[in-house]
Amino acid sequence: MADIIKRLGWRHLRTAPTAHVRHFRRGRLVHDGPGLSFWFRALTAALSEVPVDDRELAMAFHARTSDFQDVSVQATVTYRISEPATAAARLDFSIDPDTGVWRGAPLEQLSTLLTETAQQHALDVLARTPLAAALVDGVAAVLERITDGLAAEPRLPATGITVVAVRVVALRPEPEVERALRTPAREQIQQESDRATYERRAVAVERERAIAENELASRIELARREEQLVEQHGTNARREAEENAAADAVRAEAEAARTVQLAKAEAEAAREVGQARAQAQAAWLRVHAEVDAATLHALAATRVAENLPRIDSLTLSPDVLTGLLAKLGRADGEQS
């Protein structure tokens, strides 16, 4: 939209570089071009503003496939008004000299033209395509058909319009049909997921089995080594016992030999001592045999005295003393 300023019956117009302005004064073209800025009088001026930038036109429409299934098509057409003079001559792009607003709706007319043309070609290609094929390859087919149809449409160049690009965003069936079509795919995906889950579980079980087998093999090997260790301990203990028994036998033999030698020595000593005692006894007897009887009695009394217990003190009571004195008196009387 052009910017218009009022000054004392004059108007000043300023447009953007993407807007092409045509200014007629009394039927004669005065200004023609994009991004203009000029003064004019409202009573004698006829103004038109044509946008020359690229514009996006989003469109959505319904179509029916060859198997009578409704589908919705979403597309976008990018177009440009390449011939502003032609477009201004064919469509009403005139603007109000006081406000700069279009008096008509030229862009809506262009949108209707592009939408109807694209819809006609899309309906034509989808009407000969079943739903399954349309959902698989329909986007490319519709895109190609709309592009070719717009390029061959004679009304567009006659209106000064150039189609820059066409994009088909989506091609979708009715919600109920879409859900019905999704069900087998979902079931297949679920089956794939379940199979993947089962495979993962099988792999996990296989790995757990391998780990368990490795642990069992490790335990068996450990038990075997423990058995070997116990056997080796028994062999070592048996060997140690045998060596200890052999050592004890050697010690016992040595002790027995020593005991025998000691006993022989003791017997020899006892024999020699006995012989010495016998010789001494024989000598003693020979000596006593040569001594008279009185001497022997004296020696016997001496031996008896030596063997009597020692008397440190002797206590005589009057009765004992009286008796001894009486016995002594009687003895003296008998002797006299």
The pTM of this model reads 0.55
Secondary structure, 3-state, 159-223: HCEEEEEEEEEEEEECHHHHHHHHHHHHHHHHHHHHHHHHHHHHHHHHHHHHHHHHHHHHHHHHH
| Phi, psi angles (nearest 5°) of residue 130 | -70, 165
**∠ CA 195-199-202, rounded to 5°:** 135
For residue 118, pLDDT over 80 is answered with: yes
pLDDT at 185: 75
pLDDT at 84: 93
Q: Rounded to the nearest 10 degrees, what angle do helices 131-152 and 106-126 cross at? A: 140
CA distance to 45, 118, 152, 278, per residue, from 12 (Å): 12, 40, 41, 177
For residue 114, pLDDT over 60 is answered with: yes
pLDDT at 331: 58
Sheet with 70-81, edge to edge strand ranges: 55-64, 70-81, 161-173
| Phi, psi angles (nearest 5°) of residue 304 | -65, -40
pLDDT at 259: 84
For residue 312, pLDDT over 80 is answered with: no
For residue 287, pLDDT over 80 is answered with: no
pLDDT at 47: 93
For the chain, what percent of residues have pLDDT higher than 70? 86
> What is the average pLDDT across 280-293?
71
> What is the average pLDDT across 85-95?
92
* pLDDT tens digits along 189-218: 888 888 888 888 988 988 998 999 999 999
**∠ CA 302-308-310, rounded to 5°:** 115
- The whole-chain average pLDDT of the chain stands at 85
9 pLDDT band, cuts 50/70/90, is confident
For residue 307, pLDDT over 80 is answered with: no
pLDDT at 109: 92
For residue 122, pLDDT over 60 is answered with: yes
pLDDT at 309: 66
- Whether the CB-CB separation of 171 and 141 falls below 8 Å is answered with no
* pLDDT tens digits along 24-72: 998 899 999 998 999 999 888 999 999 999 999 999 989 988 888 899 9
Give the span between the Cα atoms of 221 and 175, in whole angstroms.
66
311 pLDDT band, cuts 50/70/90, is low
pLDDT at 243: 87
For residue 319, pLDDT over 80 is answered with: no
For residue 21, pLDDT over 60 is answered with: yes
Least confident of 12-21, 107-116, 252-261: 252-261
pLDDT at 241: 85
Q: Which one is predicted more confidently, 129 or 263?
A: 129
**CA-wise closest residue to 56 among 110, 116, 123, 106:** 110
Give the span between the Cα atoms of 17 and 270, in whole angstroms.
154
313 pLDDT band, cuts 50/70/90, is low
177 pLDDT band, cuts 50/70/90, is confident
- Whether the CB-CB separation of 94 and 13 falls below 8 Å is answered with no
pLDDT at 174: 86
176 pLDDT band, cuts 50/70/90, is confident
* pLDDT tens digits along 91-102: 999 999 888 899
For residue 86, pLDDT over 90 is answered with: yes
